[in-house]
Amino acid sequence: TAGITQAPTSQILAAGRSMTLRCTQDMRHNAMYWYRQDLGLGLRLIHYSNTAGTTGKGEVPDGYSVSRANTDDFPLTLASAVPSQTSVYFCASSGDRGYGYTFGSGTRLTVV
Amino acid sequence: GQQLNQSPQSMFIQEGEDVSMNCTSSSIFNTWLWYKQDPGEGPVLLIALYKAGELTSNGRLTAQFGTTRKDSFLNISASIPSDVGIYFCAGAGQGAQKLVFGQGTRLTINP
């Protein structure tokens, strides 16, 4: 089934450690996004990529980095995790600018 | 930046009741979308609206693009247990490259 695959599904990470959340799509969508979801705050954009080779900062980019080496993959890296990065992370993609995002199933990250 | 205010934040209703929620923006949007998130899953697109005043249905769901282009409404008729979840509005303004999401409405249904 076409869509977005995120890995891992969940992770417990010690503060100060680094981690990369993986996201792969098979729909050949140009744009990809990383959101974090926190109770009462909805979905907040961390980073985005309009096309392979380009990335941009979203609403809450600090502490995160991304790369877009090809169309299909958009990994999110936490260089040195802090407890405030405990959240559920969603990757999404879209074929049209601003419309009809497809979301992955999320990665639940707990930083202790 | 653009912001969306979604209300209510949560709803507790009886099965069979109708549900209404809305979203307002501080600026004009050209596109409004409504998503539903089931527990443990990512949001899934329910309805997309592209024109001011547009009224679109998807089964028991009806959404409207407000005539001021600064708001949108979602109604669910005759709620059933599988309607439980979090509903998000999202919008994009003219020339915007990314969607802006509301804070979500958590719907709980008592059987």
SS3 A92: strand
pLDDT at B93: 79
B9 touching chain A per CB within 8 A: yes
Asked if residue A99 has pLDDT above 80, the reply is: no
Lowest mean pLDDT among A69-73, A87-91, B94-98: B94-98
B6 contacts A101? CB cut-off 8 A: no
What are phi and psi for residue A3, nearest 5 degrees? 160, -155
- Give the residues across from B98 on adjacent strands: none
Locate the DSSP E strands across chain B.
4-7, 10-14, 19-25, 31-37, 44-49, 55-58, 61-65, 71-76, 85-92, 100-101, 105-110
B31: contact with A, CB 8 A cutoff:
yes
3 state SS of B14: strand
Q: For residues A18 and B6, give the distance between their C-alpha atoms in angstroms, rounded to a whole number.
A: 35
Contact between B41 and A99 using a beta-carbon 8 Å cutoff = no
For position A41, what pLDDT does the model report? 81
Facing residue for A42 by CB, picked from B42, B96, B104: B104
Interface test with B, best of A4, A89, A101 (most B CBs within 10 A): A101
Put simply, whether B56 touches A (Cβ < 8 Å) is no
Rounded mean pLDDT, A2-14: 94
Q: Which of A46-60, A66-80, A94-108 has the lowest mean pLDDT?
A: A94-108
10-residue stretch averages of pLDDT, chain B, 111 residues long: 84 96 92 93 93 94 94 97 95 78 93 78
| Bridge partners of residue B62, in order along the sequence | B57, B75
